[in-house]
Amino acid sequence: MSHIVITHLSKHYNAIPVLDHIELTIEHGCVLALLGPSGCGKTTLLRLIAGFERPDTGTIALDQRIVATGLTSLPPEKRGIGYVPQEGALFPHLNVEDNIRYGLRPHTHHQARVEEILALTNLQGLGKRFPHELSGGQQQRVALARALAPDPSLILLDEPFNALDLDLRRNMCEDVVSVLRRTGTTTVLVSHDPGEAFSVADQVAVMQGGVMMQCARPEQVYWQPASPAVARLTGTSIFMDGQCTEGTATCALGRLPLYPQCATVTGSALIMLRPEQVVPLPSTHQPKVHVSRSRFRGDHTLLDLELDGFCFSLRTSSLDAPTADSDISLKVHGRCMAFSSQE
């Protein structure tokens, strides 16, 4: 049974479309990442699921119960959802325990539940501290703990780690999602960072301009993006013009096998590879490629390459990186994607 089913969902602000006929199904216990650039509608979709706003058209169902349509909307407090906003929104005059206790229903055994949540979120010993006495990461844990205290079946995370440094943000996100997996809580995470989304999610839903571009497993979204736009939003890509026939593509890098779903693409097409599929070789192999520029970046070197008028960049290990104005060869691993000219 699906936990969330969203059908034909649309939302406008001042006649400007923000979400356009969104279709989305999320299974129980799934961790889904909403990935896309700022302004693509991710947070609006999250707020509609939470009940903070009402859609213009379409429906939202939680456990087969319709909670929102264009005419009616169940209040947030009756949806059984935990919500963690970007800024955490802790009460500065309450200590950690009281912030967590705030979300609990009256007449429940508060202290036992608070202690259980403190242990679950690795906040033991911090219960009497106030928000200003905590690090940014600890504050976000408290916000998560407060959302988890009522034992919701669904948690919505609206880029809650955005203010943290990149490495800390990704580590914190992985720790938090690990907690949510242990509780079996269905989770929807808003992110603009592909690395963050790929590392924690069971499903990644890529959005742009209020449209759901693709929703699939992280590996499928990365290696087999549904369009060039999805490819660009989810990582660095190499695009080339090519000719497709009988499950292969002929392009500047040779004759390459296509993914099965590209079998219907024939004739002129746009070919896509991820840079890590292309490996430098000694110049004794074909095709020969000219290194026009070599930029040392510490743990890797960035090469600017030219091949019969086709220019692209490639990361390689700094241990044996070729120098500028030299010639090398390339080998391509795996399959490639092909998009027809209409895309």
pLDDT (tens digit, 9 = 90+) per residue, 132-145? 999 888 888 888 88
For residue 150, name the pLDDT band (cuts at 50, 70, 90): confident
Classify burial at 37, counting beta carbons within 10 Å of its beta carbon; exposed 0-12, middle 13-18, buried 19 or more: exposed
Strands 186-191 and 154-158: parallel
Write the CATH number of the domain with boundaries 2-230: 3.40.50.300
Contact of 272 with 242, CB cutoff 8 Å: no
Going by the DSSP 8-state scheme, the letter that residue 259 receives in this structure is P
pTM (whole model) above 0.75: yes
pLDDT-derived band at 242, boundaries 50, 70, 90: very high
16, β-bridge pairs: 13
- Please state at what angle helix 166-183 crosses helix 110-120, rounded to 10 degrees: 130
Nearest 5°: CA angle at 181, between 178 and 182? 90
Which residue in 207, 182, 211 sits closest to 194, CA to CA?
A: 207
23 in Cβ contact with 7 (< 8 Å): yes
| pLDDT digit string, tens, across residues 33-89 | 999 999 999 999 999 999 999 999 999 999 999 999 999 999 998 998 999 887 767
- 337: tokens are 């994607």
Summarize the confidence of residues 319-337 as an average pLDDT.
92
Judged against a pLDDT cut of 70, whether residue 342 lies above it is answered with: no
Residue intervals in the chain for CATH 3.40.50.300: 2-230
